[in-house]
Amino acid sequence: MSSTKKILVSSPTFGKYSPESRERLREYGCEFDDLLRTDDPDRETILSHVEDAAAWVVGYTPVDEEALSRASNLEIVAKHGTGVDNVDLEAAKEHGVVVANAPGANANAVAELVVLHMLNASRNLVRLDPTVRDREWNTQIGRELTGKTVGIVGLGDIGQAVVRRTQGFDLEYVAFDVEERPEFQERYGVTLYEDLHEMLPAADFVTTHVPLNEHTRHLLSAEEFRLMRESAYVVNTARGGIVDEAALLSALQNDEIAGAALDVLEQEPPGDAEWYDDLLAEERVTFSPHLGGITEEAMGKVSDVTAENIRSVFEGEEPLFRVV
């Protein structure tokens, strides 16, 4: 590469756990404009910095038509992660900007959080820990995870990782996906359903692993909760919006399901709608702050893939994982 190219970085973890990913791009002749290292820039600041960027590493920063129209030199939007629901893909196509992501790099991290939430649902450790610290000794009966049926909505990289990470629990697996994976299904005994509504009544745990788009928004809503077992537990580590949170609250209040774990919300941090107060107060829901893929190991892998996506596009090659 003959001239220096600027890489705008609005993902604070890019390269933090894999310094080599940044170093490879520096050796390639790139320079970095780290927008989130020292402050919390406003919208106009972001737009002014993208104007001369050749690549933009994004976490959750919105990349819309306005931003892309200002970015006359932009060649690639490199998602530092998997989900690209914050990127206007049609606008990127119109502006000739490649969008690439890093699917699968954080699969183990997310899958492990799913297992953690399922175990907590079975034994209620999050609620019991503070009682012991208050010198109370309120033993509660729990349930074993062993022998239960896990319903996986989306049998991609993360859905498959959930199956692999839970092999020691002698679980049954059912899944809903538009794509068959016969070798994986046969090896791990996964029963695939073409109809989500047929799968839901069979599961003790329902865990979501699909992208957020017009087809999956509120994929789990009032009708779906009514189809679940009263003992069922919902785990959403995918994207806020896949679970209809108002309908979830109603289902819990009506004892249609047993509980839920939400690592993601439609509004992050939680919104100011009145029903959000009730949801946050609901003891049968466990929350975590969108940390499913946030481990040192996962972030290092994501940074490596992101850097390679950028290098490939600068060289006129296909990125490892092209979205558009």
Task: Give residue-wise pLDDT tens across range 59-76.
Answer: 999 999 999 999 999 999
316 pLDDT tier (thresholds 50, 70, 90): very high
**How do strand 55-58 and strand 76-79 relate by DSSP bridges?**
parallel
The rounded mean pLDDT for the chain is 95
Segment among 41-50, 239-248, 281-290 with least mean pLDDT: 41-50
Q: Is residue 1's pLDDT more than 80?
A: no
User: Using 50, 70 and 90 to split pLDDT, how confident is the model at 39?
Assistant: low
Residue ranges of domains in the chain: 5-105+296-314, 107-287
Class of domain 5-105+296-314: alpha beta
Least confident of 100-109, 114-123, 247-256, 263-272: 263-272
Burial class (CB in 10 A: 0-12, 13-18, 19+), 322: middle
Q: Are 176 and 201 spatial neighbours (Cβ–Cβ below 8 Å)? A: no
Is the omega angle on the peptide bond into residue 19 within 30 degrees of 0, that is, cis? Answer: no
pLDDT of 127-179, one tens digit each? 999 999 999 999 999 999 999 999 999 999 999 999 999 999 999 999 999 99
Q: Which CATH class is domain 107-287?
A: alpha beta
pLDDT of 308 reads 98
- The yes-or-no answer to whether 5-105+296-314 and 107-287 have a common fold is yes
Res 42: pLDDT:
86
**Candidates 49, 80, 117, 239; catalytic one:** 239
**Is 38 a residue whose pLDDT tops 60?**
no
Distance (Å, whole) CA 197 – CA 210: 16
What is the predicted pLDDT for the residue at 40?
67
Residue indicated by tokens 């939400």: 262
% of the chain surpassing 70 pLDDT: 98
Kindly name the residue from 127, 181, 290, 322 that is annotated as catalytic.
290
At residue 274 the predicted structure's pLDDT band, cuts being 50, 70 and 90, is confident
Residue from 144, 268, 297, 315 carrying the catalytic annotation: 268
Q: How does pLDDT run across 181-229, given as a tens digit for each residue? A: 999 999 999 999 999 999 999 999 999 999 999 999 999 999 999 999 9
User: Is pLDDT above 90 for 2?
Assistant: no
Sorting pLDDT into bands at 50, 70 and 90, what band is 41?
confident
What percent of the chain is modeled with pLDDT above 90? Answer: 94
CB 81 within 8 A of CB 299: no
Does the annotation mark 322 as catalytic? no
> 291-315: per-residue pLDDT in tens?
999 999 999 999 999 999 999 999 9
Say whether 197 is catalytic. Answer: no
Task: Classify the C-alpha dihedral 217-221-223-227 as positive or negative.
Answer: positive
Q: How many CB atoms lie within 10 A of CB 316?
A: 7
State which H helix or E strand residue 6 sits in: strand 5-10
Whose tokens are 């839901």? That residue is 200
239 is catalytic: yes
